[in-house]
Amino acid sequence: VIVWLNGRLVDSSQAVVDVFDRGFLLADGIFETLLVVRGRPIWLREHIERLTAGAAALAILGAPGTYAAAAIVEALLVANGLLEEPRVAVRITHTRGPGPRGLAPPTTHSPTVLATAAPVGPPPKAVRTIIAASTRRNPYSITSRLKTLAFTDSIVALREALDRGADEAIMLNTAGNVACATAASVVVMKGDRVWTPPVEEGALPGIARARLLAAAARDGLDAAERTVRVEDLEAADAVVLTNSLRGAVPVAEIVGLRPAGSGDGGGLLVDLLRADIEDAARED
Amino acid sequence: VIVWLNGRLVDSSQAVVDVFDRGFLLADGIFETLLVVRGRPIWLREHIERLTAGAAALAILGAPGTYAAAAIVEALLVANGLLEEPRVAVRITHTRGPGPRGLAPPTTHSPTVLATAAPVGPPPKAVRTIIAASTRRNPYSITSRLKTLAFTDSIVALREALDRGADEAIMLNTAGNVACATAASVVVMKGDRVWTPPVEEGALPGIARARLLAAAARDGLDAAERTVRVEDLEAADAVVLTNSLRGAVPVAEIVGLRPAGSGDGGGLLVDLLRADIEDAARED
């Protein structure tokens, strides 16, 4: 496997970072994961906008812009023979780079930028989720709106899900409302209403989530950010999890709640987001 | 500088981790930072107990035990000529090691264990703090009780403090009570009462914090975990920040609150913890 690291393509056997990299020691960085369909990155501009906003919030220099990122993605795909692959995940990781001991960011820094590509399979038809008991999302931190490297809580929640025989975990926020899943947004549908937890309630501003809301609104649905309560999950016609790699995946069951809705609404949301991805894959 | 990495001493110019290390990509790991005084690690057993508990909670294999850690510390000090140094910080970092794409931990893993040593100066006589507005501690996550690599929030709070002309940030929890500082515990004294936020309220189970409470109790003070409200900071005779490297450091001012107490009580807490460290430095 070839990866892109700080400006050059290197074989993964040689692809290493300094042990003093603050991304490694302190999760002092951010990342994006995007889908590439037959050489075409999906929603690249949105991903780079979020990466840029995250880097600005953390005051980390050197986030690649959209053109640079497009060039990195293409170089990675060519180097790995993935240009014709129908589904490739590209992850761009951006850290503050190495620093001296302690939390305080160094006054100057040499950021680390890593990009990796790997083919991925088709999304699951549906998932079984739990509501995580081990952790909740924290809306009182600005980092809940950033895709930082601090994914420990999501790993804890996912491990809890796997331990309890489920595929995914829905995370509540500290007030007990629904926030998001471990690496996906939660979107609920009932009648012609489609809604998802507000960013202010601890949800990451998911890109697939925003695309789905816009597509649903164009389709005449009443789509918006609104509080999602646990009861809303039970009463919904459908609950789907959205992210850039999988699109929308219906939740077939939430352990401990009555089975989620028939999935008809879920099918509609899946189709809306799939069509949006297909449009993006055709764009010039 | 020589570091200890996965069983051997290596020059830091050669000390690198795989770009697929989950510590780097997902903050999937834990760490400890301990003080070493002239070759003697302070509170080593307590640090290794916390590391072991953290590794167990995250199901990461291969945490070094106390004897292994003592050997690592000694090897590091010898290699770096630091055996006679009065104050050395040793950090032990333990991650799940490299893994494939995605959040799910691999079924088998090769953990990464890194240890580094660096001389540190004397602790500051006092610090000026803010109460962080950018982030709060999340008591609803089991990770708030673990010293995981996810230090992004503490970095954000510390940057806020530095931007506002202070040295440190006190972090509230999501309920608005005091939890801890960015890399230290908060201990409050008023009359003969000494108290610190409970772990259940989002405080890390700090080792210096536990040592200070025990020392204060032995000294006849009424020392315990109890809720600390912002008003308690204002009304206190003294507020100190404790951690393993600095001992207890008095808070001279909290921006926006009236100046903290005279510092007499602070001096007592500083002395109690310093005596405890000196005892540990003499132990056989």
Instruction: Kindly list the strands in the beta sheet with B238-243, ordered across the sheet, starting from the edge strand earlier in the chain.
Output: B178-181, B168-172, B127-131, B247-254, B238-243, B185-190, B193-196, B222-225
* Predicted local distance difference test score (pLDDT) of residue B265: 67
DSSP state of B157: H
* Predicted local distance difference test score (pLDDT) of residue A259: 63
Q: Taking a C-beta distance cutoff of 8 angstroms, is the pair B114, A19 a contact?
A: yes
Residues of chain B found within 8 Å of residue A93, distances taken between Cβ atoms: 24-25
Cβ atoms < 10 Å from Cβ of A220: 8
Average confidence (pLDDT) over A55-83 = 97
Global pTM? Answer: 0.96
Average confidence (pLDDT) over A175-183 = 98
Q: What is the pLDDT of residues A82-119, one digit of tens each?
A: 999 999 999 999 999 999 999 999 989 999 999 999 99
Please report, to the nearest 10 degrees, the dihedral formed by the alpha carbons of residues A217, A124, A231, A153 taken in order: -100
Tokens 């993605």 label which residue?
A73
* Predicted local distance difference test score (pLDDT) of residue B35: 98
CA B278 to chain A, closest CA, distance in angstroms equals: 23
> How far is B273 from B251, CA to CA, in rounded Å?
15
Q: Which of A70, A89, A68 is nearest to A80 (CA)?
A: A89
Q: Where are the beta strands (DSSP E) in chain B?
A: 2-5, 8-11, 16-18, 29-37, 40-41, 88-95, 112-119, 127-131, 168-172, 178-181, 185-190, 193-196, 222-225, 238-243, 247-254
User: What is the distance in angstroms between the CA of the first residue and the CA of the last residue of chain B?
Assistant: 28
Please report, to the nearest 10 degrees, the dihedral formed by the alpha carbons of residues B254, B258, B264, B268 taken in order: -40
Q: Which chain B residue has the Cα nearest residue A57?
A: B156
> How far is A131 from A172, CA to CA, in rounded Å?
7
* Predicted local distance difference test score (pLDDT) of residue A94: 98
Average confidence (pLDDT) over A3-7 = 97
> How far is A208 from B277, CA to CA, in rounded Å?
53
Local structure of B107: helix, strand or coil: coil
* Predicted local distance difference test score (pLDDT) of residue A266: 86
Residue in B16, B100, B120 closest to A16 by CB: B16
Q: Which of A154, A162, A196, A149 is nearest to A33 (CA)?
A: A149
> How far is A248 from A229, CA to CA, in rounded Å?
20
Q: Is the pLDDT of residue A263 over 90?
A: no
Q: Is the pLDDT of residue A264 over 80?
A: no
**How confident is residue A283, by pLDDT bands cut at 50, 70 and 90?**
confident
Q: Is the pLDDT of residue A257 over 90?
A: no
Q: Is the pLDDT of residue A265 over 80?
A: no
Taking CB atoms and an 8 Å limit, are B103 and A154 in contact across chains?
A: yes
Q: What is the pLDDT of residues A12-63, one digit of tens each?
A: 999 999 999 999 999 999 999 999 999 999 999 999 999 999 999 999 999 9
* Predicted local distance difference test score (pLDDT) of residue A50: 98
Taking CB atoms and an 8 Å limit, are B142 and A156 in contact across chains?
A: yes
Taking CB atoms and an 8 Å limit, are A152 and B154 in contact across chains?
A: no
DSSP labels, B13-79? GG-EEETTBHHHHH--EEEEEEEEETTEETTHHHHHHHHHHHHHHHT------HHHHHHHHHHHHHH
* Predicted local distance difference test score (pLDDT) of residue A261: 57
Q: Which chain A residue has the Cα nearest residue B162?
A: A104
Q: Which of B66, B227, B151, B269 is nearest to A150 (CA)?
A: B151
> How far is A10 from B100, CA to CA, in rounded Å?
18
> How far is B126 from B241, CA to CA, in rounded Å?
9
Cβ atoms < 10 Å from Cβ of A139: 23
ipTM score of the complex?
A: 0.96
Average confidence (pLDDT) over A152-173 = 98
Q: Which chain B residue has the Cα nearest residue A32?
A: B25
Q: Which of B16, B181, B118 is nearest to A100 (CA)?
A: B118
DSSP state of B197: -
Local structure of B249: helix, strand or coil: strand
Task: Output the tens digit of pLDDT for each of chain B's 284 residues.
Answer: 999 999 999 999 999 999 999 999 999 999 999 999 999 999 999 999 999 999 999 999 999 999 999 999 999 999 999 999 999 999 999 999 999 999 999 989 999 999 999 999 999 999 999 999 999 999 999 999 999 999 999 999 999 999 999 999 999 999 999 999 999 999 999 999 999 999 999 999 999 999 999 999 999 999 999 999 999 999 999 999 999 999 999 999 999 886 655 556 689 999 999 999 999 999 75
Q: Which chain B residue has the Cα nearest residue A117?
A: B101
Q: Taking a C-beta distance cutoff of 8 angstroms, is the pair B117, B80 a contact?
A: yes
Residues of chain B found within 8 Å of residue A134, distances taken between Cβ atoms: 141-142
* Predicted local distance difference test score (pLDDT) of residue A284: 59
Taking CB atoms and an 8 Å limit, are A153 and B135 in contact across chains?
A: no
> How far is B76 from A127, CA to CA, in rounded Å?
48
Tokens 């309220």 label which residue?
B201
Residue in A27, A89, A183 closest to B152 by CB: A27
CA A141 to chain B, closest CA, distance in angstroms equals: 4
Q: Which of B235, B202, B247 is nearest to B42 (CA)?
A: B247
Both tokens of residue A165? 């025989």
Q: Is the dihedral of CA A96, A8, B97, A93 positive or negative?
A: positive
Position A213, amino acid: L
Percent of chain A with pLDDT over 90: 95
Residues of chain A found within 8 Å of residue B143, distances taken between Cβ atoms: 135, 152-153, 156
